[in-house]
Chains A and B, each alone.
Chain A
Amino acid sequence: MTTLHFTEEQRDCLQELVNVAMGQASDKLARYLETMVHLQVPAIKLVDTQQLPEHFAKRYQQQSVSLISLGFFGDQGLRGETIMLYQLANVGVLAKLLGYSDDDSSEDEMLTDISSVLTTTFLNGLAEQLDNSFSYAAPRILSSRDEHFADKLAATAQQWQLALQVDIRYQLTDYSFHCDMILLIPGEAVLRLRQMLDQILADF
């Protein structure tokens, strides 16, 4: 699908928009959690959705991973789905920082809440850079504590034409939290996104 390719300039532009959005998100999170969030450059990669399951299966090597999906809709045909990948061991401290205790919420509820905070703060920032605004569907658990999560990922990813892989590492003051985020965007929305990027590039 050569039509879905991005030029290096478009990719660079999107990377910068992601950086800025990520910066805004971590600032909000830092204020909310009352702790410093250290931000690393989120390398973005545009990948074929068919390569995703293999890539993440390799990265997590049969460890149990939870997948949470969240859909978003914007103006001008921009839409897609984000998938967060976590290892549950990673989530505990973040849950405590967010004020969760074991007795008032289930593990599933905690996972969906954290995912929705992390993705919507980021996506709101991205929408702003694009002069757009997003509305969101409720987060869904695609699979939880699953060693065979790659199959579930494959089933979801194959419905989309393009994946934007964003490796997010939120490092908190004395705790390192790491998760992966994948942005999945359908073909026609990729075309819209490219038009938007070209418009920004034309301005500079």
Chain B
Amino acid sequence: MPLAGLLQPLLSQLNSGVVLLDAELKLVFINQFIARRADLQPEDVKGKSLFEVFSDLPQAWLQRKLHGVLSLQVPAFSSWEQRQYIFKLPHLRPLSSDSAYMAQNCSMLPLTAADTGERYICILVEDATDAYVYQQQLQHSVARLQLANRTDGLTGVFNRSYWQQQLGYEIQRAERYQHPLSLLLFDLDKFKQLNDHYGHLGGDAVLIEVARLVAALLRDTDLLGRYGGEEFGIILPETDLTGAMQVAQRLCSAVAAHRVAFEQQQLLATISLGVTGFTSGLSSDQLIQQADEALYSAKRQGRNQAVAWRDSQSVYLKKVK
């Protein structure tokens, strides 16, 4: 029968790995696909333990799978999506991939020899590096898109919708764990004059520079967002009103002391800040409203300062309105 003579050449040409094991998990056969990539001679490994020849295998896990294949006589599978590879082998696209090893789909199949009835396992190894690389690229693109979706184009801080969404989450968290949380709104003083005097490019330069300066003074867990034209918001988790006022004063003096370079000139800018602390039961809109009222007081009291929200302010504001 010609088939028997063709099987070996077929197996050696096959673009998938074939590893044949006996019931003691000793190697019976490996094809060229595996041998060349692992730099082994098929003749040398015959009769040796699988785990001795391939010492990098996830032994406990793989043994359990192979035991299942033998005793239940059902196939087992491993996908690159859950486990990138079983056999640590190089792949043929080293330049286009950030992974050093071949991503693999493996099937572990129960086999019974037709003549002797003895049981074997065949591990089929398919190269899934292309799919792996493609998915990695996709993930990078998605991450970039997500970042773009929540970033303010001009200043690079969070945009309003993302920032407000985060405020909602932080309020839920503060409520659930009874942790302190503060909110800070600030506004560039006399921004309209700045724009009129230096043009929109000058105004933009100040916005970018102030956002950068403020961001550098915050903790990693604080969330800075651009709330409107020249208005910004800062969510300060795990911070009570006293702590938030200290932050506000620090930001106020830092901005006032800074000079923004624009077309060989040094621009001066100041900010006014409104600060409020979260108390149980407040919605994010109410919290923003309070910070806004405090900010209004800061402006009214002469700008370049921070004011904490007090209940009486709203009473006062209603009167003047």
Which residues of A does B touch, CB under 8 Å?
A: 28-29, 31-32, 98-100, 104-106, 108-109, 112-113, 116-117, 120-121, 124, 136, 138-140
Contact = CB atoms under 8 A, between A and B. Distances in A.
A112 B72 contact: no
Interface in B45-74: 58, 60-61, 64-65, 68, 71-74
B270 interface: no
Given A32-B68, A109-B83, A138-B107, A120 B61 contact: no
Nearest 7 CB-CB pairings of A with B:
A120-B74, A138-B77, A109-B82, A104-B61, A108-B82, A99-B64, A28-B72
B76 interface: yes
Interface of B: 58, 60-61, 64-65, 68, 71-79, 81-83, 105, 107
Contacts of A112: 77, 79, 82
Given A109-B82, A112-B77, A116-B76, A32 B61 contact: no
B71 A32 contact: yes
A44 B75 CA distance: 25
Given A98-B64, A104-B60, A109-B82, A117 B72 contact: yes
A140 B68 CA distance: 19
Given A32-B68, A98-B64, A116 B75 contact: yes
B205 to A, nearest CB: 47
26 contacts: A28-B72, A28-B73, A32-B68, A99-B64, A100-B64, A104-B58, A104-B61, A106-B82, A106-B83, A109-B78, A109-B83, A112-B77, A112-B79, A112-B82, A117-B72, A117-B76, A120-B72, A120-B74, A120-B75, A121-B72, A121-B74, A124-B73, A136-B75, A138-B77, A138-B79, A140-B79
B149 to A, nearest CB: 22
Contacts of A109: 78, 82-83
Nearest to B73: A124
A117 B68 contact: yes
B202 to A, nearest CB: 50
Contacts of B64: 98-100
